[in-house]
Amino acid sequence: MAKKLKSKRHKSAIKRARQSLKIAERNTFYKSAVKTAVKKVVSAAGIGKKEDALEALSKAKSLIDKVVSKGIIHRNTGSRKISRLYRLVNSIGVKTAAA
């Protein structure tokens, strides 16, 4: 709880303010962890190491699903992130014909 609670009058308001700080801190932790996991997949894909990218993708998918189940990010957002990562990893090693 890095932030200081503003002066509240009611006990319930004080408790709710305290809870909201804890929840916000937890949400920030999980969102940051998701960003880090996504970056690991993208960097492995950028290098062209499909095995490393698949391993990082597995961990990222698991983490994103966990965060969605906790309600920290919306399920459509989680699905979109996973879908984009799968498309990225599956495109490794595939050569596209430039016309």
What's the pLDDT tens digit per position in 36-89? 999 999 999 999 999 999 999 999 999 999 999 999 999 999 999 999 999 999
Query: Could you tell me the two tokens for 75?
Result: 């399920």
Q: Supply the CATH number for residue 79's domain.
A: 1.20.58.110
How many domains are there within the chain? 1
Domain span holding position 32: 19-90
Q: Is residue 97 part of a domain?
A: no
pLDDT-based confidence at residue 93 (cuts at 50, 70, 90): confident
User: Taking Cα atoms as reference points, which of 72, 67, 66, 43 lies closest to residue 56?
Assistant: 43
pLDDT-based confidence at residue 96 (cuts at 50, 70, 90): low
Q: Is residue 9 part of a domain?
A: no
Q: Which residue has the tokens 């965060």?
A: 67
Q: Is residue 77 part of a domain?
A: yes
Query: Do 31 and 72 contact (CB within 8 A), yes or no?
Result: yes
pLDDT-based confidence at residue 9 (cuts at 50, 70, 90): confident
Q: How far apart are CA 77 and CA 64, in angstroms?
A: 9
Q: Is residue 40 part of a domain?
A: yes
Q: How far apart are CA 60 and CA 41, in angstroms?
A: 8
Q: Is residue 13 part of a domain?
A: no
pLDDT-based confidence at residue 98 (cuts at 50, 70, 90): low
Whether the pLDDT of residue 4 is over 70: the answer is no
